[in-house]
Structure 1
Amino acid sequence: MQSKIALAEIAQPYAEALMSVAQSNNLTEEFGSDIRILLSLLGNSQELRSFFENPFVKLDSKKALVNQIMGEGGNTYLRNFLLLLVDRRRIQILEGICQQYLSLLRQLNQTVLAQVISAVPLSDEQQETVKQKVKAMTNAREVELDTRIDREIIGGVIIKVGSQVVDASIRGQLRRLSLRLSGS
C-alpha cells in the first residue's frame, strides 16, 4: 500500500490539471460542488471505493459506472476527466485528487478549512460564531467548516486550522487542570 504522501504527490498534478480546466471554463465552483458530492459518495460507500480500486474490474465497467454517477446533466469536462482517470488507471486515487482540488479551490478563494470537533452538533448560530473566530485568527476571507462529533470531549469545541489548535473543550480544561494540580 502506498503512503499518503506518495498518493498526494501523484494526485497533485491531476488536481492542478482539473483546476486549470475549471478556471479556463469558469467552472471552479461548479466543479467544487460536484467534487464534494463525489467525496461524499466515496466516503459513504466502501463498495464504490473497492470497485474503483479493484484491478480485475474491466475498464469498460468502471467507465459505465462513472457515466452512471455523472448522470445525463453532469458536466462534460468533469466526466471526461474521470474517464481519463479510468483510462490511465488512476481512478483509485480519485479521493486524493478531489481533496487536492478542494484545497486548490480554497487557496484560490482565500478560504481556510477549519476542523471543528464538538460533543454535540453545532447550531447554525454556533457555526457562524466559530467561523468569525477563525476569520479573526487567520485573516481569511472565508471559512469552511469540517465538523465532527466526539462525545468524549464532554462539551465545548476543539478548532484545528492548519497547525493551530484551540482546545475549548471540557476534556481539555480538565486535562490542563490536572496537569496544574499534579505540577504543584
Structure 2
Amino acid sequence: MTSNVALAEIAQPYAQALMSVAESNNITEQIGEDVRGLLNLLQESNQLRNFIDNPFVEADDKKAVIGRVLGEGANPYLRNFLMILVDRRRISFLADVCQQYLVLLRQLTQTVLAEVTSAVPLSESQQQTIKEKVIAMTSARQVELEATIDSDIIGGVIIKVGSQVIDASLRGQLRRLSLRLSSS
C-alpha cells in the first residue's frame, strides 16, 4: 500500500468514479467480484505487479496485458476504467484503487470487514459463527471475512473489526497469564 497522501489524492477519486459508474449501471457487486479477483491476482503475481508498475513499459503493452488478464468475459466498464488508468499513468495505483472500491462497496452494503487469524483453516460453521458474533457486535447487515493462517497463535482465533481486536488465541491467553504472573 502506498502513502496516505497517494490514497487520498489518487486512489480515492478513482475508486469513487468506478463506484459511480457501477451504481448508475446497477453492477456494484459484479464490479466488486471482478475487483477482488484483480486484487488476488496482483497479490499472487509479482511479475504482473512489476509489469504494471514499471514506468518504462509502453501504455499499449500494458493495455494488451490487462486485456489478456481480464479475458473476454470481463465487464466492459471495468475494462474501460483500467484503460483510463493506463492512459492517465495511474495504473500503478491499481491495488489501492481496488482496495478503496471495496471500502466504498462495504459502506454501500453496510458490510464490515472482519480480519480473522487462526492457527488452522476455519470450517464453514466456524466462519458462520464468527460472522454472527461480528454482526451482533457491530449491528452490520453483512460480514466479509478475510482469513489468514498463522500457526504461531497455537490455537483459537484473533478477530479484528476496524480498530477493535478480539484475541481469543492460545498465544494471547498465555501472554496475559504471563503478565499476571509477572505482576504478582
TM-score, normalising length: structure 1 = 0.97
Distance (whole Å) between structure 1 residues aligned to residue 69 and residue 20 of structure 2: 23
**Does 1:57 pair with 2:57?**
yes
Shift of 1:153: 0.4
SS at match of 1:55: coil
The match for 2:7 is 8
The Cα of 1:8 is off from its aligned counterpart by: 1.2
Question: Secondary structure in 2 aligned to 1:83?
Answer: helix
Q: Offset of 1:3 from its aligned partner?
A: 4.4
Q: What are the equivalent positions in structure 2 for 1:144-159 lying under 5 Å apart?
A: 144-159=144-159
Q: Which runs of 5+ in 2 are unaligned?
A: none
CA distance in 1, matches of 2:119, 2:74: 37
Structure 1 position 174, deviation (Å): 0.4
Distance 1:103 1:149 in 2: 23
**Paired residue type of 1:82:** L
Moved over 3 A (4+): none
Structure 1 residue 4 displacement after superposition: 2.3
How many pairs align?
183
Q: Contact between 2:2 and 2:96, CA under 8 Å: does it hold in 1?
A: no
Deviation at 1:70, TM superposition (A): 1.9
Taking structure 2 as the reference length, what is the TM-score of the superposition? 0.97
The answer to whether the 8 A contact 2:118-2:155 is kept is yes
Question: Distance in 1 between the 2:97 and 2:140 partners?
Answer: 24
Report the identity percentage: 66
Post-superposition offset of 1:74: 1.3
SS at match of 1:179: helix
CA distance in 1, matches of 2:29, 2:103: 13
The gaps in structure 1 that reach 5 residues or longer are none
